[in-house]
Amino acid sequence: MQAPAIRDAHIGDLPGILAVVNEAILTSTALWTDQQEDLATREAWWRQRIADGNPVLVAIEDGEVTGFGSYIQFRAWDGYRNAVEHSVYVRADRRGSGIGAALVDALIARAKAAGKHVIIGGIDGTNKASLKLHRRAGFIEVGRMPEVGVKFGRRLDLVLVQKQLG
């Protein structure tokens, strides 16, 4: 199978990104919220990320957004300026196809090019596929916060992973 094209997101990609986000909100514990987003909210998110110099990447297959990823500075204080926290989401029908790995790899490359030292992720403790994907990409588990989240009527553990970039 051919690898998806990974590129910077454009405003025209936002409906596809929104569809991926809202599907994840409705059906998974990847996002710990019950509130679906609208296009205006997602556009404001995208504009803020770009204004702050953070990447928003999309995976494109057959002209459609099949996943996206981004990162932001980990915590607001300047002492964390070389640490970023990433997030990656893949359309339900394309999970397990390598899109998530391609997006993680692309975000790692962007973070390295930006001179970042550490990339961090926060993953639901039951998300075995994401934990495995991150282990394969060289992330290590650095913390587990039991029952800090709630979704679908159950308590969720947050697993923190990180990768040193240089």
- Tokens at residue 63, please? 């002209």
For residue 137, which of 91, 94, 106, 97 has the smallest C-alpha distance? Answer: 106
Q: Torsion angle, CA of 34/18/53/116, rounded to 10 degrees?
A: 60
H helix or E strand, kind and range, residue 23: helix 14-27
Each residue of 108-159: pLDDT tens digit? 999 999 999 999 999 999 999 999 999 999 999 999 999 999 999 999 999 9
For residue 94, which of 6, 15, 7, 20 has the smallest C-alpha distance? Answer: 20
Domain boundaries, the chain: 5-164
Evaluate if residue 30 carries a pLDDT over 80: yes
CA distance 18 to 155: 26
Residue type, 125: G
DSSP code, position 165 = -
CB of 57 closer than 8 Å to CB of 99: no
CB of 39 closer than 8 Å to CB of 16: no
The structure's pTM equals 0.96
Each residue of 52-91: pLDDT tens digit? 999 999 999 999 999 999 999 999 999 999 999 999 999 9
* Per-residue burial over 56-83, b = 16 or more CB atoms within 10 Å of its CB, e = otherwise: bbbbbbeeebbbbbbbbbbeeeeeeebb
Q: Which of residues 133 and 1 earns the better pLDDT score?
A: 133
Q: What is the CATH number of domain 5-164?
A: 3.40.630.30
Q: Determine whether 90 is exposed, middle or buried from the number of CB atoms within 10 Å of its CB (0-12, 13-18, 19+).
A: buried
